[in-house]
């Protein structure tokens, strides 16, 4: 009995390890291609504040203004020695603590000479975000500010803001970046070059996730590890597979493809509009891929327990695919995390009362399995540059993540979501057909 239990636990851990390693290899295979026009000194060091970037002035693109519509020409054909035209759209709702550093980094992008512009869409902010962006417009001709306007019926805030920014641009590529993303100087050029070299129509880039508070460090690495064990990350770039994992912190898409699939208007009611847009892109036959962007950008997704609580509760169901998968994954994570500690203890007590070579072998297998599981978690914490002290709190982190996942399922069944000060009652289906607009 002890031998069987130890062997079963050891085998289960090996299966989880194999899945995690497969995800790690797939992630490493998604490394970006360095743009050939970039110089040898185009390093990938992170800069966490805008003061690390020198602002580029006098570049082509937008005039210094705030407006509801932008009229500018762009060259959609890339020329040797320069990247294609790119419009970066930054949806911003109450981002006063992030917008300066974000724009400073975007203004410092290298080799984006052909019609590079930045459009900040103020989504009814009340913290001074719009005023901060206007100051940038006065100093940097490539930055423009537009207002998202009132939220229409059936729309969520971020899809609406992204759509407003997209229809204000006529660049060859549209790049949607969250305001809390900090870009290295080669981010845009490298992402565009990778997309073109791999023949991709849409790209999702995964920045390095910075973890500041105790709760971020406790929950996020554990959650990411179990998502890696549950989901097949490699299938996101497989055209024949429906899986479309995407990260809305950075999305790059060809403008003609964006409108062909309906853009954010086609996913206006989606909680995870990034995943919905990527799925629609693949469904309609366009090429979607992911890029490991940890050396190109960084972000702090949540700034404490409150935003983490709301964010995980909002996104968990969509990340896992549906409510049943979310509950199953959360339950398994909860059981496995506590089993890491309890199984060796229980088998040690049993082996002490019934000592035999078989029972000792079972105990050894169980202890080895738990050691491997803790090593997996230690590697995850190291990846996120978090103290290994948190490995000791592994079961607590998994328990909290499971509670958030269960809450996400409950809220989704109630069709309720709260985010960025807005309370949504999900009553509207995602529109299946591309919208009618003069910009198409």
The predicted-structure confidence for 148-204, as pLDDT tens digits, reads as follows: 988 898 899 999 999 999 999 999 999 999 999 999 999 999 999 999 999 999 999
Spatial distance between the Cα atoms of 281 and 284, rounded to a whole number of angstroms: 5
Residue 408 lies in a domain: no
Rounded CA Rg of the chain: 23
Spatial distance between the Cα atoms of 180 and 39, rounded to a whole number of angstroms: 27
Q: Tell the burial category of 243 from Cβ atoms under 10 Å away from its Cβ (0-12, 13-18, 19+).
A: middle
* 109 neighbors 85 (Cβ within 8 angstroms): no
Spatial distance between the Cα atoms of 361 and 368, rounded to a whole number of angstroms: 10
Residue 218 lies in a domain: no
Q: Which tops the pLDDT comparison, 90 or 19? A: 90
Residue 251 lies in a domain: yes
Instruction: Find the range with the poorest average confidence among 46-60, 119-133, 284-298.
Output: 46-60
Residue 82 lies in a domain: yes
Note down the domain range covering 246. 29-213+232-303
Residue 425 lies in a domain: no
Residue 34 has a pLDDT of 62
Measured CA distances, 16 to 10, 11, 283 (Å): 10, 9, 30
- CATH code of the domain covering residue 52: 3.90.550.10
Q: E-strand spans in 83-172?
A: 86-92, 117-122, 143-147
Residue 390 lies in a domain: no
* 119 neighbors 85 (Cβ within 8 angstroms): no
Q: What is the enclosing helix (H) or strand (E) of 336? A: helix 323-353
* 178 neighbors 101 (Cβ within 8 angstroms): no
* 231 neighbors 404 (Cβ within 8 angstroms): no
Residue 114 has a pLDDT of 67
Instruction: Find the range with the poorest average confidence among 237-251, 315-329, 351-365.
Output: 237-251
The predicted-structure confidence for 43-65, as pLDDT tens digits, reads as follows: 444 443 333 333 333 332 333 33
The pTM (predicted TM-score) of the whole model is 0.82
Spatial distance between the Cα atoms of 21 and 320, rounded to a whole number of angstroms: 19
Q: Mutual orientation of helices 357-383 and 2-29 as an angle, nearest 10°? A: 20
Query: In sequence order, what are the residues at sequence separation of 6 or more whose Cβ sits closer than 8 angstroms to the Cβ of residue 307?
Result: none
Question: 3-state SS of the chain: helix, strand, coil percent to 5?
Answer: 50, 15, 40
Give the number of other CB atoms < 10 A from CB of residue 350. 16
Q: How many domains does the chain have?
A: 1
Q: What is the enclosing helix (H) or strand (E) of 156? A: none
* 299 neighbors 210 (Cβ within 8 angstroms): yes
Spatial distance between the Cα atoms of 209 and 266, rounded to a whole number of angstroms: 29
Residue 83 has a pLDDT of 63
Query: Six-digit token pair at 37?
Result: 């026009």
Residue 201 lies in a domain: yes
Residue 122 lies in a domain: yes
């Amino acid at each position: 009995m002890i031998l069987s239990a130890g062997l079963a636990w050891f085998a289960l851990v090996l299966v989880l390890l194999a899945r995690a390693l497969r995800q790690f290899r797939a992630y490493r295979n998604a490394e970006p291609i360095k743009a050939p026009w970039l110089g040898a000194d185009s390093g990938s060091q992170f800069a966490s504040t805008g003061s690390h970037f020198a602002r580029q002035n006098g570049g082509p693109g937008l005039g210094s203004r705030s407006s509801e519509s932008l009229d500018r020409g762009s060259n959609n054909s890339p020329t040797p020695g320069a990247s294609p035209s790119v419009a970066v759209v930054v949806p911003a709702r109450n981002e006063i603590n992030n917008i300066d550093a974000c724009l400073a980094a975007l203004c410092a992008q290298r080799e984006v000479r052909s019609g590079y512009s930045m459009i900040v869409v103020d989504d009814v902010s009340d913290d001074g975000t719009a005023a901060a962006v206007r100051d940038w417009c006065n100093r940097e001709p490539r930055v423009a500010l537009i207002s998202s306007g009132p939220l229409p019926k059936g729309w969520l805030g971020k899809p609406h803001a992204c759509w407003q920014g997209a229809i204000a641009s006529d660049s060859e590529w549209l790049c949607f970046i969250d305001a809390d993303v900090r870009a290295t100087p080669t981010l845009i050029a490298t992402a565009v070059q990778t997309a073109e070299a791999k023949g991709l129509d849409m790209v999702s880039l995964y920045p390095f996730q910075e973890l500041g508070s105790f709760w971020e460090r406790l929950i996020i690495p554990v959650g990411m590890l179990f998502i890696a064990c549950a989901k097949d990350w490699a299938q996101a770039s497989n055209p024949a597979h429906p899986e479309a994992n995407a990260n809305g912190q950075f999305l790059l898409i060809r403008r003609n493809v964006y409108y062909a699939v309906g853009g954010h208007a086609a996913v206006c009611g989606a909680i995870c509009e990034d995943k919905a847009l990527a799925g629609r892109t693949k469904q309609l036959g366009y090429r979607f891929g992911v890029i490991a962007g940890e050396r190109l950008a960084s972000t702090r997704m949540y700034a404490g327990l409150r935003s983490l609580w709301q964010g995980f509760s909002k996104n968990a169901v969509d990340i896992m695919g549906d409510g049943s998968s979310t509950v199953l994954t959360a339950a398994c994570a909860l059981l496995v995390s506590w089993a890491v500690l309890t199984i060796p203890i229980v088998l040690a007590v049993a082996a002490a009362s019934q000592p035999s070579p078989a029972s000792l072998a079972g105990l050894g297998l169980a202890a080895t399995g738990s050691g491997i599981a803790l090593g997996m978690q230690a590697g995850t914490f190291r990846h996120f540059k978090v103290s290994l002290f948190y490995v000791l709190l592994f079961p607590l982190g998994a328990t909290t993540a499971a509670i958030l996942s269960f809450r996400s399922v409950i809220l989704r069944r109630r069709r309720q979501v709260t985010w960025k000060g807005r309370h949504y009652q999900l009553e509207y289906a995602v529109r299946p057909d591309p919208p009618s607009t003069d910009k198409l």
